[in-house]
Each structure stands twice: as C-alpha cells, then as structure tokens.
Amino acid sequence: MTNVPIEGMLLPNEKPNHESPGNWKEYFSFSTDHKVIGIQYLVTSFFFFLVGGIFAMVMRGELMTPESDLVDRTVYNGMFTMHGTVMLFLWTFPSLVGFANYLVPLMIGARDMAFPRLNAVAFWMVPVVGIIMMGSFFIPGGPAQAGWWSYPPVSLQNPTGNLINGQVLWLLAVAISGVSSIMGAVNFVTTIVKMRAPGMGFFRMPLFVWAVFSAQIIQLFGLPALTAGAVMLLLDLTVGTAFFDPAKGGNPVMFEHYFWFYSHPAVYVIILPIFGIFSEIFPVYSRKPLFGYKVVAVSSILIAIVSGIVWVHHMYVSGTPGWMRLIFMLTTMFVSVPTGIKVFAWVATIWGGKLRLNTPMLFALGGLIMFVFAGITGIMLSSVPVDVHVNNTYFVVGHFHYVLYGTVTMGLYAAIYHWFPKMTGRMYSESWGKIHFWLAFIGTNLNFLPMHPLGLQGMLRRVASYAPEYQFWNVIASLGGFLLGISTLPFIFNMVISWMQGEKAPDNPWRAIGLEWMVSSPPPVENFEEIPIIISEPYGYGKSEPLTANLSNHNPD
C-alpha cells in the first residue's frame, strides 16, 4: 500500500519538521502550530488596537470643546460603542490569547496545544468578528450605538426598521467572539491539565501558566451567561420576544445581571494573564526568585473564584435594593486581598535585587505603578456611597483606563518586548523601546489622570457635549490621548525594522530561567527534540539547581 500524502500530514517515514516558520506566508495560512497562531493573534489584535485607537482620537477630538461640534451625536455614540467593543473583544482578549498560545506549550514542555486544529479555527474567527464589526459602518443606520454594555431598551430601539442593523451585527460579532473564546478555553484548560512535561507538578508551573489557567476557567463558567443574555437580546430585537423589553412587560435589569455576571469576571480574564506576565518579568530583570511563589499561584485561583460573586457592583444604582448593595460591596472589597498579595510579592521580588531597566522591565514597572493607582480608585468605587456619586462619570472611565491602558496595555507591551527575541530570533532596538515607554507612560497619565477630577466634579461618561467648566481637564486629557496615539509610532517602527533586520538574537538574551528560553530563537516547529523532565521549581535565580534533567539549563554563569 502506498502512502498518499495529504497536504500538511506527516508521513511515518518523514522526520518531524524542525524548521522554524521562516516563510512569512505561513502567517497568512491555516497553520496549526501554536506559535504561528500565537503570532497571528498578536498581529491581528494589534491592527485592531490601532482601529480602536483611531476611534479614541475622534472622541478626544470631539471632547476638546464643550459643544458637540466635530461629529454628529450619532457618530460620537457609534465611536464610543465601537471603541470599547474593539478594544476589549479585538485587542485585549485576542492579544492575551495570542501570548497564551505562544507561551503555554513552551512553558509546560509540550509540543503543541491539545487540539491544534480547534486552536486554528478559534483564531480565524477573530478576523471574522472584526470584519462584521467594521462592516457595520457601511450599512444604513451605521454601527451599534448603545455602548459596549448594550443595555436594553436603548439597544432594542431600531430607528431604521431594518432587520440588518448595527445592533444585530454587533450581537452576532460578540456571539462569534464568545464561541471562539470557549474553544480557546477548552483547549487551554486541557493542555495545562494534560500535557505538562514529566515532573512539572502544579507547583512547578510558571506563574503565567497559573494565570492563564485561572483566567480560562472564568471563561468556562462566565461565557454561558453572556451568551444566554446576548441570544435573548437578539430574539427581542429580531423576532420581538419580551425578555428585556419593558414596553412588553420584560425586565431590562435582568439583562444587566446576565451581562455583568460575565463581564465583571471578564475583567479578570484580561488582567490575570497580565499579572502572570509581571510575575515572569520581575524575577528576570531583578535576578531574584519570585517572592512567595506558591501564595501568588494560589491567589490567581482565589481571584477567579471571588470574581464570580461581585458583579452587582456595576449595578449599585440600578434596580438593586440596599441589602444587596452592601453584600456585594463586601465581596468586591475582598478581591483586594489576593490582589494585594500579588502586589506585595512583586515589590518584595524587586526589593534588594540587581535591577536591569530594559524596555520590558520599564513597561512592567510603569504598569505596576499604574495598577496600584487603579486598585485604589477601584476600592473607592466598590464603596456604595462613593459609587452613588461617581458611577457612570469620568471617574469610572479614568479608573478602568488605568486598568486597561495603564496595566493591561503596558503589560502587553512589556511582554512583546520581552519575548520578541524568542518569537522572531532578532533583537529589538532598546533606545526606540525606551522612547516608546516614556511617550506611553506620560501619555497615559496625562490622558487618564484628569478624568478623575472630572468625574468627581460630576462629568458624565458617554457624552458628546459637556458643561464649559469641564473644558480645562478635557483639553489636557485630549492632548494626552493624542500623545498616546503618537506613542504607537516608535513601537511599530521598532517592531517592523527589528523583525526584518534586527541583530540576531541568542536563545536566551535575558539569561532567564524558563523552558521557553532553553530552545532556539525562534523555537523549532515542535518545540522540543526531546520532552524535558522538570526537576525543580521555576525562578531559581541565585540557586545552582538546574530546571530540567535532560535539557541543558541556561543558568547564568
């Protein structure tokens, strides 16, 4: 019997392909290599980061003056709706999944994800989501304008009368993105539970893997609620059911519950991997083991669990009775305990180390500082009486941008620079990286710090026009916003030029400890010639123990 080769299939007499994906065309193909998929996610999501950024520029342009004079109110409403949606569903989620895809198999000593084809399918749904979202700009009536919350009844009002309208496309895109996330979650959880290299017990896993594991478990319990809410809203909108439509006796507050039951924990789906990234980066550039490794690992799981019982803090001033407000205030505040443990561990890791302020470390430090700030305003928001005042004002917008830009986006940049040599086999330019950091750090604070006084003064979010007394801080915020827009230029420049003609990177340029640094840069297709056997905990800086029994350990010196 002759073997009929099928494209992409390995024949028994062929050697496994240990070539790196040298050909750029591979990144445009249906590859099942977790590393190619990881980079596909990263590049695609960065494209949408720029799209969401352009929408942000339009908003900040409009808010330079108190009057609504740059764009129509309808355009402004479409802008903040699409900005929020794109930034969450097409930038933070996919880019973090991209990193998880790239790093998890390498970090746990596996050859690939558990279900490589499912992985590829999940990725290819992301461009589909993007096309549907962007396509909604070209239909009569334009894109959805109900905010990324899409609270009914506003989201049920359809002035065009068309069946295909911005809101329907929005719900469709979000649903597809949810399906893609569920596929990813099943894949990650299976991979982490089943495919760890021999010797890698749970307490020998790197903290990034712990973080991804906790985050993906949230996806598994949370997404069904969001999906149910979205489907019910879609039915209300298209065939006229009455789940949420008060005109027909429905209850719009129920939608808020469905929505936030997922969307609060979703915040942790985003932030946990960033905590993981911090935990990977601080030990390397401080040259110390991560302080309190086990406690930090467990705190990720704790955060995932507590995050499931806090969603009502988004609804204190909605249809929520007093006793419920107070219960959820307490649960919300308790999230700060596992989070505080992490912050303390990072500070203790850095303390007394031998710090090296390379670009990744700068971004991680800047991100940590802005996260502490965000955590403090977060505690203020969790207090019911304070929230009664600042809910839905710019104070909240300032708070969550300190999380989403100050922490998440800065953390993502840290990760991109840190693993760039591994992914591309080339070094980036350190000086351009530092310019990028300072522009981004100053821009973020200039943009989002003024939002706090604005919110305390009572300026509302989602407004295209405002009272003249709010103009001063808005102009500062807008200038900071434009600076943030500009800050992406040195980054793009650095990445493109360095990827094409940067200096060749060694396997372990940072002298880091971790399986991913023991393979070549970029890693070969199936990662490991021989699956490593793990014999110690990660982060063994300052100790002479090797990490594995059969791969040469690049322990410095």
* Nearest distance from C-beta of residue 518 to other proteins, angstroms: 17
* Nearest distance from C-beta of residue 400 to ligand HEM, angstroms: 7
Nearer to Cu ion (CB atom), residue 268 or residue 420: 268
Nearer to other proteins (CB atom), residue 35 or residue 287: 287
Q: Which tokens sit at 493?
A: 């420049």
Q: Which tokens sit at 418?
A: 């840190």
Q: Are residues 359 and 427 in contact, defined by beta-carbon separation less than 8 angstroms? A: no
Nearer to ligand HEM (CB atom), residue 61 or residue 524: 61
Residue 84 interacts with, from other proteins, Cu ion, ligand HEM, none (CB under 5-8 Å by kind): ligand HEM
Considering only residues 391 to 450 of the shown chain, the ones binding ligand HEM according to CB under 6 A are 397, 401, 404-405, 408-409, 447
Residue 264 interacts with, from ligand HEM, Cu ion, other proteins, none (CB under 5-8 Å by kind): Cu ion
* Nearest distance from C-beta of residue 366 to other proteins, angstroms: 10
Residue 55 interacts with, from ligand HEM, Cu ion, other proteins, none (CB under 5-8 Å by kind): none
DSSP code per residue over 293-313: HHHHHHHHHHHHHHGGG-GGG
Considering only residues 87 to 126 of the shown chain, the ones binding ligand HEM according to CB under 6 A are 87-88, 91-92
User: Cα–Cα distance between 236 and 146 in angstroms, integer?
Assistant: 15
Q: Which residues pair with 548 in a beta bridge?
A: 534
Nearer to ligand HEM (CB atom), residue 81 or residue 548: 81
Considering only residues 452 to 511 of the shown chain, the ones binding Cu ion according to CB under 5 A are none
The DSSP letter of residue 240 is -
Indicate whether 278 belongs to the interface with ligand HEM (CB under 6 A). no
Residue 506 interacts with, from other proteins, Cu ion, ligand HEM, none (CB under 5-8 Å by kind): none
Nearer to ligand HEM (CB atom), residue 316 or residue 394: 394
Q: Show Cβ contacts of residue 62 under 8 Å, excluding neighbours closer than 6 positions.
A: 68, 69, 70, 71, 76, 79, 464
Considering only residues 251 to 270 of the shown chain, the ones binding Cu ion according to CB under 5 A are 264
* Nearest distance from C-beta of residue 518 to Cu ion, angstroms: 39
Considering only residues 134 to 173 of the shown chain, the ones binding ligand HEM according to CB under 6 A are 147-148
Q: Which tokens sit at 384?
A: 């019911």
**CA 330, 409, 34 angle in degrees (round to 5)?**
105
* Nearest distance from C-beta of residue 386 to other proteins, angstroms: 6
* Nearest distance from C-beta of residue 481 to ligand HEM, angstroms: 3
User: Cα–Cα distance between 375 and 267 in angstroms, integer?
Assistant: 13
* Nearest distance from C-beta of residue 278 to other proteins, angstroms: 12
User: Cα–Cα distance between 334 and 328 in angstroms, integer?
Assistant: 10
At 438, the amino acid letter reads: W
First-to-last CA distance in the chain? 54
Q: Among 131, 44, 166, 140, which Cα is nearest to 96's?
A: 44
Give me the sign of the Cα torsion angle 393, 394, 397, 403: negative
Considering only residues 50 to 79 of the shown chain, the ones binding ligand HEM according to CB under 6 A are 53, 56, 59-60
User: Cα–Cα distance between 460 and 440 in angstroms, integer?
Assistant: 26
* Helix 293-306 × helix 336-350 angle, to 10°: 150
Candidate segments 32-40, 85-93, 376-384, 518-526, binder of ligand HEM by CB under 6 A = 85-93
Indicate whether 83 belongs to the interface with ligand HEM (CB under 6 A). yes
Nearer to other proteins (CB atom), residue 34 or residue 314: 314
User: Cα–Cα distance between 97 and 99 in angstroms, integer?
Assistant: 5
Indicate whether 481 belongs to the interface with ligand HEM (CB under 6 A). yes
Q: Among 494, 523, 529, 526, which Cα is nearest to 507's?
A: 523
Residue 92 interacts with, from ligand HEM, Cu ion, other proteins, none (CB under 5-8 Å by kind): ligand HEM
Site pattern 321..360 for ligand HEM (x: CB under 6 A): ----------------------------------------
* Nearest distance from C-beta of residue 387 to other proteins, angstroms: 9
The three-class DSSP label of residue 143 is strand
Q: Show Cβ contacts of residue 63 under 8 Å, excluding neighbours closer than 6 positions.
A: 464, 466, 474, 477, 478
Nearer to ligand HEM (CB atom), residue 165 or residue 263: 263
* Nearest distance from C-beta of residue 452 to other proteins, angstroms: 8
Residue 88 interacts with, from Cu ion, other proteins, ligand HEM, none (CB under 5-8 Å by kind): ligand HEM
Nearer to ligand HEM (CB atom), residue 56 or residue 97: 56
Residue 332 Cα to chain centre, angstroms: 21
Considering only residues 300 to 319 of the shown chain, the ones binding ligand HEM according to CB under 6 A are none
How many C-beta atoms lie closer than 10 Å to residue 282's C-beta?
A: 25
Q: Which tokens sit at 185?
A: 């979650």
* Nearest distance from C-beta of residue 216 to other proteins, angstroms: 26
Long-range Cβ contacts of 202-206 (<8 Å, 24+ apart): 202/297, 203/293, 203/294, 203/297, 203/537, 204/534, 204/536, 204/537, 204/538, 205/107, 205/108, 205/297, 205/538, 206/107, 206/276, 206/279, 206/280, 206/514, 206/538, 206/539
Residue 392 interacts with, from Cu ion, ligand HEM, other proteins, none (CB under 5-8 Å by kind): other proteins
Q: Are residues 415 and 360 in contact, defined by beta-carbon separation less than 8 angstroms? A: yes
Q: Are residues 93 and 269 in contact, defined by beta-carbon separation less than 8 angstroms? A: yes
Nearer to Cu ion (CB atom), residue 292 or residue 308: 308
Nearer to Cu ion (CB atom), residue 303 or residue 415: 303
* Nearest distance from C-beta of residue 480 to other proteins, angstroms: 19
Indicate whether 418 belongs to the interface with Cu ion (CB under 5 A). no
Residue 291 interacts with, from other proteins, ligand HEM, Cu ion, none (CB under 5-8 Å by kind): other proteins
User: Cα–Cα distance between 336 and 491 in angstroms, integer?
Assistant: 33
Binding site residues, Cu ion, CB under 5 A: 264
Binding site residues, ligand HEM, CB under 6 A: 53, 56, 59-60, 80-81, 83-84, 87-88, 91-92, 147-148, 397, 401, 404-405, 408-409, 447, 461-462, 481, 484-485
